[in-house]
Chains A and B, each alone.
Chain A
Amino acid sequence: MNEYQIAFAGIPLIATASGALWWATERVLCVSDLHLGKSERIARRGGTLLPPYENRETLGRLQTDLDRYDPRVVVCLGDSFDDLRAADHLDAESTQTLVTLMAGRDWIWIEGNHDPGPMGFGGTHMRELSLPPLLFRHIAQPGADREVSGHYHPKKRITGRGRSVLRPCFLIDQKRVILPAYGAYTGGLDCETPVLADLVGPDAVAILVGKSVAAVPA
């Protein structure tokens, strides 16, 4: 199974195995926390030299989703770049890919804590986006409703038949959807961690993504 149907704020949405949220009726595709340029940023700051292929991988995944859903609007939910200089220094090949992906559709860059300002790419740069009935922002706010956010990179552990697997996941309750990180070089935060567990209601559901999708109580 590569998609999971959910009803949120009275509208049908699809959680994909790749970690994107697809709003079919409005043809809006939402992805969060791409963290493009992560390896470049680490190297620049004198850290280790990670394999510089995460942009290729992340944009390749995005390409596949765009080919499949052909969205009218793409919402990047913040932390699209690992920092603002990473956006300026994006390699030529990735820049070219990104420009091609953006062509012919509305592209919204929501501000994240890693990329809190405008970047030299096209599209619209916003702090938040309201597409009624949904509200898109990077970090979930306590008490918000109908909110779609990212930031936390939620992960969920599932155990069965002596096997324990930790997978990125959507975290969903009545009032909010928190997206998994879409970028290749991203870790995650277990849903059990208080900061995440306290954010969602007791009836929250985690939708595990990766090779397949599966929903479990969060």
Chain B
Amino acid sequence: MRWSPPASAGAQVSFPGVTAYIRAMVTLPPPFQTWFASRGWSIHPHQQQMLDRSGAPTLLLIAPTGGGKTLAGFLPSLIELSEDPADGLHTLYVSPLKALAADIKRNLRTPVEEMGLRIRIEDRTGDTSQTQKKRQRADPPHILLTTPESLALLTSYEDAPRMFKGLQRVVVDEIHALAESKRGDQLMLGLARLNSLCPGLRRVGLSATVEDPAAIARLLARHPDPCEILNADPGPDPDIAMLMTDDPPPWAGGGGRYAIPAVLDEVKKHNTTLIFHNTRAQAEIFFHALWLANEDDLPIGIHHGSLAREQREKVEAAMVAGDLRAIVCTGSLDLGIDWGDVDLVIQVGAPKNVKRLVQRIGRANHRYNAPSKALLVPANRFEIVECHAALEAVKEHDLDGDPRGRGPRDVLCQHILITACAGPFEADTLYAEVITTGAYVNLTRPEFDDCLDFCATGGYALRAYDRWQRLMQRPDGQWQLRDPRAVRQIRMNIGTIWDYETLKVAWKGRGGGGRPLGEIEEGFASTLTHGDTFLIGGQVVRFEGMRELTVEVTRRADKEPKVATFNGTKFATSTQLSDRILRIFQQEDWPDLPEHTANWLRLQRKVSKLPEPERLLVESFPHDGRNHTVVYGFAGRNAQQTLALIVTQRMEEEGLHPLGFVATDYATLIWGLDPLQNADPLFDPDGLREGLEKWLSGNAVMKRTFKASAYIAGLLDKNFPQSARKSGRQATFSSDILYDTLHKYDPNHLLLQITREEALRGLIDFGRIETMIDRIGGRIDHSILDRVTPLAAPLFLEPGRIAIHGSGTERVIAEEAERLMMAAGLAS
């Protein structure tokens, strides 16, 4: 092979100075040429570029769905393996979805078999059998397809150095999705580990279209290695519009049920339609209603992350076989499983985020260079404005996104424990390895040492665990687990997705152990009583009771269902979209919007006001036995949430008994027992700044954040070995107790520091509120009304309500207790 400067192959190379890794135009070996020719294909320019630069330490390919991205990622591996099919792991492929790994395995085996290559390709996920997993460790395939969690588990085994010996390439698929979450941070720490085990390891990232490719390149590259960015042809602009219906959308509400006849018409007109929803609960309701209206018995399926694996696999198989005309789905189908013949994407509910919308649209039509077709279905009239803004943004190629902060330290704590599972380690070596990771480049040694100390001793001011350290230092200075049996517990709790407690739902069977249906949130399960009905997997089921930690249900379709609340991802509308909406509100009239929506905005303008950029609109009104206040800050969901936390604290001090709030990107809705008379003092800038300090000390969001970090950092275990489980439920207690205890006795503890950082990241810097305060300059319009306003109505259906545990709670308990005792004839 000859190394030379890049040939001008029409490549858009972002780091033109980096040339050492670029080989001259690599010609495909004969079997590959024959195979491409037999398919009538020629190699895409970006596939050729990936091949030419395959020696580079890191490459990032940005390509639209259907652009042959996966083959571009694997082609260098296939060629290298065809030239030298030595035993052992050559390429590791990591994707955010188990299903994707299985799908890629299928797609990759086809060319390998057709070219007669002797390349072993296997996947390894949570679903792989124990026998298969054991065998893979002893005798790894050439190409292993896996997920970040399974990779973390692999690196925790003592034999990891042997298994990964000789690993040449790692391909991270859909890296744009991983880059947004802690799963990505965990993966990158894992890759740092792999690079230490295999110094020549090359990294490749495959990404959908994003607003800031350089940021993803920084995450992917092993610091300080460079990362070239290759851009594939983005293809033609999508064919996208709002779905017009005979009936206007409802005043409020989600789900888009009103549009079902129109959606069914579109399904009939197309081969295969994907119908995306923003939440699992909405997907369930929509699917149920769609099924009732489906008089032609079109084959339609449902797919979301809370459904049992068996259910999802059935739908996936039917889809691959081309047996389905439509699938109602959520983000679980956002990523690149190749469904073949999808020719229409329908997005129900406002897309919230332009980048994600563009990626979803890409799901329609996997033929390269044909425009994707998509329809937006606003769920209510507010969403018409949102959809309108989103369409404008797509036309202008104005993608959105928020920059990621530093690597979270709870993930690092878990990484330290995982490292310890594999065997003794040197602190210096591990630190040097961690700071090669993009997100942890700026991690200081003291910060690292705090994490190590937390893992070893708990890191408490009261040094209570000197005898029972989790990690201890050996005479030679290396760190190891004190109790080797702890590996089991640590391995069982690997992972960074711990948002909500969920319970399994299964059919009630004779002798127990009925077929699983899916999962619901524990909070929702706790509100169910015997005989209640809810929707799951598109079916109405009846709650029969709990069997250990499983919700048992029977078939019963005779009652209006409650709706299960799932732990599905909640999208935040991007700031860019919010700004567009605010600008639309300022128009004198709205000729571009449907008449009913324009009328609605006119009505809001008449009974109250429309929010303006230079003023703050606050509305107060009674509704459903409680007093409500809406603050239209348009500061983004996180800042609106921060605002709610501070404002409710001040309301509590003023004796208004606030009970809870919900925040969206535009507004905060607060409800409580007593009405707000004067909004001005609540939004006084100095008071708000002072309130932030108190806010940080204790509230529901902080506790929720703490809980997630406590699970990730290994302070709390979510999964226990079977033997430890019999101790029963009264042995487990709420993480809130730990938060309160730490806050009282050890306020500077690492986990509280992490919680604060997380809360500021999740709720965004107070700077956003500062910006809002500056923007409104004390100009507050407080409308006191006697009923819900048109603009406020949709807020009542927002998920993510947060309860305030203040004096209002005690009053509710007292009132309810009195009522119940009276009703029972027990009151004195």
Contacts and interface: CB of A to CB of B under 8 A. Distances in A.
A49 B732 CA distance: 15
B804 to A, nearest CB: 10
Contact of B742 (A40, A51, A158): A51
A157 B738 CA distance: 21
Contact of B465 (A43, A203, A212): A43
A188 interface: yes
Given A49-B715, A56-B745, A161-B626, A208 B817 contact: yes
Contacts of B815: 160-161
A57 interface: yes
A49 B803 contact: no
Contact of B816 (A184, A189, A205, A216): A216
B817 A158 contact: yes
Interface in B710-734: 714-717, 728-734
A163 B730 contact: no
A91 B467 CA distance: 12
A184 B741 contact: yes
Interface string A159-170: 111111111000
Contacts of B510: none
Contacts of B292: none
Size category of the B interface is 35 or more
Contacts of A8: none
B674 to A, nearest CB: 13
Contacts of A217: 820-821, 824, 826
Contact of B468 (A40, A188, A211): A40
A46 B489 contact: yes
A119 B266 CA distance: 76
A99 interface: no
A11 interface: no
A165 B813 contact: yes
A7 to B, nearest CB: 10
B817 A49 contact: no
Given A47-B717, A161-B625, A215 B462 contact: no
B83 to A, nearest CB: 49
Contacts of B733: 185-188
Interface in A50-84: 50-54, 56-57
A163 B746 contact: no
A44 interface: yes
Contacts of B814: 1, 212, 214
B812 A163 contact: yes
A51 B826 contact: no
A103 B586 CA distance: 74
Nearest to B815: A160
B483 interface: yes
A18 interface: no
Given A57-B741, A157-B526, A217-B826, A52 B817 contact: no
Contacts of B468: 40, 43-44, 49
B744 interface: yes
B746 to A, nearest CB: 6
A185 B728 CA distance: 15
A182 to B, nearest CB: 13
Contacts of B730: 152-153, 181, 186-189
Contacts of A100: none
A48 interface: yes
A161 B741 contact: no
Interface in B470-484: 470, 482-483
A39 interface: yes
Contacts of A159: 527, 816
B481 to A, nearest CB: 8
Interface in B599-638: 625-626
A216 B821 contact: yes
B486 interface: yes
A48 B717 contact: yes
A53 B746 CA distance: 9
8 smallest A-B Cβ distances: which pairs? A49-B458, A52-B464, A160-B816, A46-B483, A187-B733, A214-B817, A43-B468, A53-B745
Interface of B: 457-458, 460, 462, 464-465, 467-468, 470, 482-483, 485-486, 489, 526-527, 625-626, 659-660, 714-717, 728-734, 737-738, 741-742, 744-746, 749, 803, 809-810, 812-817, 819-821, 824, 826
10 contacts: A43-B468, A44-B468, A49-B715, A53-B462, A160-B819, A185-B737, A203-B826, A208-B813, A211-B810, A216-B817
Given A57-B744, A185-B737, 15 more contacts: A48-B470, A49-B470, A49-B715, A56-B745, A91-B464, A158-B816, A161-B625, A161-B626, A164-B526, A186-B733, A187-B729, A188-B733, A214-B813, A214-B816, A214-B817
